[in-house]
Structure 1
């Protein structure tokens, strides 16, 4: 990774939501903030937010989180430098959106004890820096101070974690950690960090959050262990174990042996080719020397191939042992869970006894209710035999008699055997009327015939009136 030069950024990059061709609007944005923010608090806040976004957009445009005041102030409008940027810069520093790079490095490198010492020494250090600053007479030195835009830096760190997570997922869903070379990580994140200093700072920040561990090997090579299941609240960061170091060294040795085998194969092919050419040219001594060299290379090659086979066998056993340990651990945990969830025989017997007690209790209640019902029947003189006999009589009566029909008003309709049509008895005396009525009363069959014949051509209302008038006359 190499450093880059921060060039000037177009206004359209800093203010994508503003019309940069509107001179009146841009003059307002580049003008100084009012001394009293309370005069127009809403306008003050809106302008401050626009410049905060402009600083962030500048970081995105130059692809870095390291910025200085002078670098952002280099963006001008019609040759004018912003007078509002200074106020915005001070506000971002006070709100911890901008932090000095050296202070951020001290924060990442300090431990609990160094943190306490830093808190005790900070007032003295601050006073010394103030005196030096005043003595130097450079009031604008802070403008060249390198700051870190924390929001941009956090986004880059999150992108780095996403890249490592994607790399971890390629190893399988059961993988809990990832071991990767430092330079492999740098190659994966080369588009995020234009400088190696910023990349180093990102790794230190992730290690501070206990997401990764940067381990330095004996040959000063670095490896990165990524463990996403650890949170920032964990007390310990992921540690590279001895087994993992052994595996890394074996893989490194295997790579070296394979490179030597490849080189020996190339040299062997060259020596064989030279021997053939010298033989064709008649130079037997040179051809014999090439053949002797060929035998030496083949012997060395056999040794390297044996080493490669041994290392591969050890790595295979290492992986098998790791898989076996994972299986055994999972079986142990499963056995413990089964033991905790297993039901004992005594619990089953106790449960069955409780069920039997409940059933017996319910049966006792049913027997008591039946005895009460029997006593009631005996006290009233009603027995089941009498009820059965009465039920049979009701059934026989229901079969012999048709059910009464209902008329529109809801009252039961009388039997079709009605009195004959109304007759006039105005010329009869009282005694004669009774005797005549008795003598002229038709039989039941005749009444049914007359009633049915007359009913066939009448409406329901007329039928009802026709059926009730003779009976009313007889009653009168």
Structure 2
């Protein structure tokens, strides 16, 4: 019995499937024919944006660089329905140069002067003789995805570069593996990437070996704009690696053969067929001797390759030292730093410090009109130090201010000391060198003063 359930569309398992895809009402409007933009420009632009971004994103995630309307219609089928507006979407993408006809893209990839001249001369005639392919029958290249994927392939290759001198040359098979790691499964898509990278001079394809039977790809080294031809060093290293890889493959096959012979020998011994077992054992011994020779050769090749890598690293170190020395010399020359200049500067600094010390001494020197004799000042200071210190008068404790109003002091207790005009007379007479006056003289002086 035939199932009535519509077959699931390939897009249903896509991780970045738009959320509107599960909205029946919304998708019915998006699957319908386009109406005139003047009627509803907002809906028209939103519908155009939805389909443009969905198609480009789907092709990017699935490594599809060439598309046509019939393939997209089949991939974006929903519940047995197909979109009726994809031809309009393709026309808009072509107008925006996001989609380019395969014939036009191939023509634009031709970079040689002869091809360019020939096509320039024949293009008017060709355009008249050829008929334009309808949109629904043509195959288009998504240019923005081709450029993006090409850059991803280059970055993937450069991420495995350890020694830029010869790590930028790889076998053609390794290059194809790098393309597949970037989600490029289709052979046509890989060929588009190759033609784009060759046109942009980011890779070159060549054959090496004595008989030119080894197909290799050289890509741009990190930090360089274009790829350079394969050098003799790269050619030699590549042949060494190729020989080592072939020997390792032979060792792997020999190992499998020896395992198979050992199984057969055991089987013959189990069947008591010693003659056949002995014959196979001799063959196994021959394979073991050949295996040992090849294994030693592989070790020697690994040693040679390691020495080459170390030599290249040493060369990089020497070049780095040389660049550093040149930069240092240029910096010294630019700033005028020489041993003589530094010595002169140090002498100037010392002279400046000596001058500053002289200035400080001049500032602290006494003024000329200051005639004070320091000796007299010292003698007077010593005399003051020898004089006795007068006793400190007793401090009378004053009662609390809050209680002073309650204290009654008799008038007889309050006495104001009379000033004695002759209190310091004795001291002054001693300083003047006069003898102490007698009590009679003191009385006469006192009476005369009255």
Question: TM range, normalised to the smaller chain?
Answer: 0.5 to 0.7
Structure 2 residue 215 is the aligned partner of structure 1 residue 250 = no
Structure 2 residue 70 is the aligned partner of structure 1 residue 70 = yes
Structure 2 residue 183 is the aligned partner of structure 1 residue 190 = no
Change (3 A) 1:162 1:365: same
Correspondence for 1:89: 90
- In 2, distance between residues paired with 1:401 and 1:126? 131
Q: Which secondary structure state, in structure 1, belongs to the residue aligned with residue 217 of structure 2? A: strand
Q: Which secondary structure state, in structure 2, belongs to the residue aligned with residue 18 of structure 1? A: helix
Correspondence for 1:4: none
Change (3 A) 1:305 1:20: closer
Q: Which secondary structure state, in structure 2, belongs to the residue aligned with residue 52 of structure 1? A: helix
Gaps of 5+ in 1: 1-6, 135-139, 403-415, 417-444
- In 2, distance between residues paired with 1:258 and 1:15? 46
- Residues 177 and 226 in structure 1, CA contact (< 8 A), matched pair in contact too: no
Q: Which string of whole-angstrom CA distances, capped at 9 and with x for unpartnered residues, describes residues 160-183 of structure 1? A: 344334433xx48x8894443221
Correspondence for 2:120: 121
Structure 2 residue 148 is the aligned partner of structure 1 residue 146 = no
Q: What CA RMSD, in Å, does the superposition of the two structures yield over aligned residues?
A: 5.2
Correspondence for 1:46: 46
- Residues 100 and 148 in structure 1, CA contact (< 8 A), matched pair in contact too: yes
CA shift, 1:246, in A, is 0.8
Q: Which string of whole-angstrom CA distances, capped at 9 and with x for unpartnered residues, describes residues 198-244 of structure 1? A: 1232234344445444333354433233445235xx2x314432112
Change (3 A) 1:316 1:19: closer
Correspondence for 1:133: 131
Correspondence for 1:27: 29
Change (3 A) 1:69 1:260: closer
Q: Which secondary structure state, in structure 1, belongs to the residue aligned with residue 131 of structure 2? A: helix
- In 2, distance between residues paired with 1:390 and 1:43? 111
Change (3 A) 1:79 1:160: same
- Residues 147 and 196 in structure 2, CA contact (< 8 A), matched pair in contact too: no
CA shift, 1:350, in A, is 1.6
Correspondence for 1:362: 356
Q: Which string of whole-angstrom CA distances, capped at 9 and with x for unpartnered residues, describes residues 80-116 of structure 1? A: 65454333322222222222233334434415x4697
Correspondence for 1:214: 205
Gaps of 5+ in 2: 1-7, 419-450
Correspondence for 1:442: none
- Residues 165 and 312 in structure 2, CA contact (< 8 A), matched pair in contact too: no
Change (3 A) 1:309 1:395: same
Change (3 A) 1:335 1:380: closer
Change (3 A) 1:42 1:353: farther
- In 1, distance between residues paired with 2:82 and 2:126? 33
